[in-house]
Amino acid sequence: MKKYSLIIFIVALATLLLIQKEVVLPFVLKVVSSDLFLIDSKDQGGQTPISTPLTGLAYMHCNNHIKSKLGPDVSISFPEKPLNAWSLGNYQYIINGEIDITSTTANTITKKYVCRITYKNGDNEEGSLDFSNWTIEGLSGLDSI
């Protein structure tokens, strides 16, 4: 049996490669080309920054979330518009903004942050002003505050 072990190993390896090439790979390609993961939405993503009413609301909700996290002891102010806002599609947004933080010693620091936020109601934009219809997926850049 020991003298056939190398031959058995080579045959088993060739069989595994053949199964992968003839069975697994065509199945994966069929699944990828299907509509299984397709999300049909009016909100299309893009690689360029955009400014829409929903990105403005997303910016406002991110700012309100930051205010609530920092509490009333910190004086903060936000610019009127974000630095950039991107739509990832399906009502998911990336907001890049700045915040001016004034401490009790009257020092003002400007910090940049990134907020990922999702609108849960999809094409129904009636509840877009209500924060309970939004989800903050992530917030970075303000960890040291």
| Predicted pLDDT of residue 105 | 66
Q: Is the pLDDT of residue 111 over 80?
A: yes
| Predicted pLDDT of residue 15 | 96
Residues 6+ apart with CB under 8 A from 65: 115, 131, 136, 139
Tell me what the mean pLDDT of segment 108-137 comes to. Answer: 84
Domain coverage including residue 6: 2-33
Q: Let me know if residue 145 belongs to a domain.
A: no
If one counts the domains in the chain, the total is 2
Q: Is the pLDDT of residue 41 over 70?
A: no
Q: Is the pLDDT of residue 38 over 80?
A: no
> How far is Cα of residue 10 from the mean position of the Cα atoms in its chain?
45
| Predicted pLDDT of residue 100 | 85
Q: Let me know if residue 67 belongs to a domain.
A: yes
76 and 22 assigned to the same domain:
no
